Amino acid sequence: MLAPSTIVSAVTDLFTGIPETHPHEAKELMAAGSLMVDIREADEWEEVRIPGAEFKPLSEINDWHEGLPRDRTVILQCRSGNRSAMATSALIRQAGMDNVVNLAGGIIAWHQAGLPIDLDPLPH
């Protein structure tokens, strides 16, 4: 059995070296042409969104990752930054993408930074 410190170390290694951006920097990147991709699931997306983000659920990443642009920065975003960090890691390590970054803290950090969110209901 692995010691708890070994497990923590293994989990920490998953996120080591994952490029991150913070909310205000991400907003500037978007203004300069970067793509924000919200990887949360549909129910989360319908509840609240970052204006300008595209919805591409993590559960369908195998269907959409090859269509991501390679010529500009792609910012992955989730609720708290954990799922998007894992997805960023996978796209870098397994898909060879060098233009993806994680939004540290996710939409929670974005909102706490005083940046706009969209709460309007989506048409069905």
DSSP code of residue 57: -
CA distance 8 to 10: 5
- Where in the sequence numbering do the catalytic residues fall? 78
In whole angstroms, what is the distance from residue 94 CA to residue 97 CA? 8
| pLDDT tens digits for range 58-108 | 999 999 999 999 999 999 999 999 999 999 999 999 999 999 999 999 999
Look up tokens 């983000």; give the residue: 53
Q: What is the pLDDT of residue 65?
A: 95
**Cα-Cα-Cα-Cα dihedral sign, residues 14, 71, 34, 25:** positive
DSSP labels, 101-123: EEETTHHHHHHHTT---B-PPPP
pLDDT tier at 122, thresholds 50, 70, 90: confident
Q: Note the pTM of the prediction, 2 decimals.
A: 0.87
Query: Domains in the chain and their CATH numbers?
Result: 4-112 (3.40.250.10)
5-41 confidence digits (pLDDT tens)? 444 444 445 566 799 999 999 999 999 999 999 999 9
